[in-house]
Amino acid sequence: MPDPVNGGVAAPVVAIAGAEKVYPNGTRALAPVDLEVRRGEFLTLLGPSGCGKTTLLNLVAGLIAPSAGTLRWWGGDLSATGGQGRQFAFVFQAPTLMPWARVAANVRLPLDLAGIERAAATRGAAAALDLVGLTEFAQHYPRELSGGMQMRASIARALATSPDLLLMDEPFGALDEFTRQRLDIELATLWAARSLTVVFVTHSIYEAVFLSTRVAVMGPRPGRVVADVPIDEPFPRGDAFRVSTAFARYCQRLSALVAEAGAGTLRDPAIVTP
C-alpha cells in the first residue's frame, strides 16, 4: 500500500500493522500489535515488566525486525525514509555516556558520527546542553555528575540532532522520586517547546499520565497492547496537575486497565475513550 505522498503530512510517523515478535528460542515477546505514532504526540507505552514494552520500542526504533507484520516510518520503509534525513534519537534506561569523554563531547557524538562539520557540531551540542541546563558542566566528565545530571546529558545528546522521533526507554527509572518528577516537568516543557514526537516507555502510571497525550496500556504473556487511552489535559502541566482530580481519575483508570491486563480478563485490544 504505497502512500501517494510518501512522507507527507498524511502519513503517521510510525504505522505498526500486525507486528509481532517471536524470539528464536520460542519466547513470544509480542503478540500482533496495531499502533500508530502521530506527529507531535507524546505516546507512552505503559505496563508491568515483561509485557514487551521495550521489544515494541526496539521495533519502532528499527533495532530489531518483526517476526510478522509490517512497520512503516513516514509512510515508507526505514532504509528509504532514513535516506531522506529523518532522524531517530534514543534515550536508554541508563545514561550510557562515554566515561572517557567530557559532557560536551558526549552530546556532540551523534553529530560527529553523522559527519556534521566541526563548528556546526559544536554549536549544536552547546544548544542542546543549554536546553537541559547543563551548559556550565560541558567540560566535566560524566562521573563527576549526579545521576539526574547524567540523564539530562543523555537527553541533550538525543536532542542534539533535532530528532523527528524521540524514543525513550524508562529513562528516569533509576532515579529517585524527586529528581524524576523534576525531569518529568523538564521533559514535558521540552516536548511542548520543540514540538517533539516522543514514544516513551515506563512502568509508572503517574509518569505516564503526567507526560503523555496518549497512553498505550500493555499486558503480559504474551506482550500486547490492551488499551489506548488519550490523556486530554492541557499543557503546560506542572505540579498542580499532579494533585488535580483529573490526574487521579486517569491514574485510577490506567491502574484498573493494567490490573485487568495482568489478570487476563481483557483478551482483545480495546479502545477506551474517556
Partner 1 sequence: MISNDAPSRALRIAAPALIAVLLLAAWQGLVVGYDVPTYIVPSPWIVLHTLITDRALLADALAVTLGIALTALAIATVVGTLVALLFVQSRWIEMSLFPYAVLLQVTPIVAIAPLIIIWVKDTRIALILCAVVVAIFPIIANTTLGLRSVDHGLLNLFRMCRASRWQVLLRLRIPGALPYFFGGLRIASGLALIGAVVAEFVAGTGGQGAGLAYQILLAGMQLNIPRLFAALFLIAAAGIALFAATMWLSHAVLSRWHESEAAAPG
Under the rule (CB under 8 A), what is the footprint of partner 1? 61, 63, 82, 88-90, 92, 94, 96, 98-101, 109-110, 112-114, 141-144
* Cell output for 111: 553529530
Closest CB 99 distance from partner 1, rounded Å? 5
Q: What is the 3-state secondary structure (H, E, C) of 1-49?
A: CCCCCCCCCCCCCEEEEEEEEECCCCCEEEEEEEEEECCCCEEEEECCC
Closest CB 112 distance from partner 1, rounded Å? 8
Q: Which amino acid is at 60?
A: V
**Closer residue to partner 1 (CB): 84 or 244:** 84
**Closer residue to partner 1 (CB): 90 or 247:** 90
Residue 148, SS3?
Answer: helix
Closest CB 199 distance from partner 1, rounded Å? 14
Closest CB 252 distance from partner 1, rounded Å? 35
* Cell output for 127: 544548544
CA distances from 184 to 13, 80, 191, 197, 229 (A): 23, 34, 10, 16, 19
- Taking the C-alpha atoms of residue 256 and residue 202, their distance in angstroms, rounded to an integer, is 16
**Closer residue to partner 1 (CB): 112 or 260:** 112
**Closer residue to partner 1 (CB): 92 or 235:** 92
**Closer residue to partner 1 (CB): 45 or 89:** 89
Strand pairing category for 224-230 and 270-271: parallel
Closest CB 96 distance from partner 1, rounded Å? 4
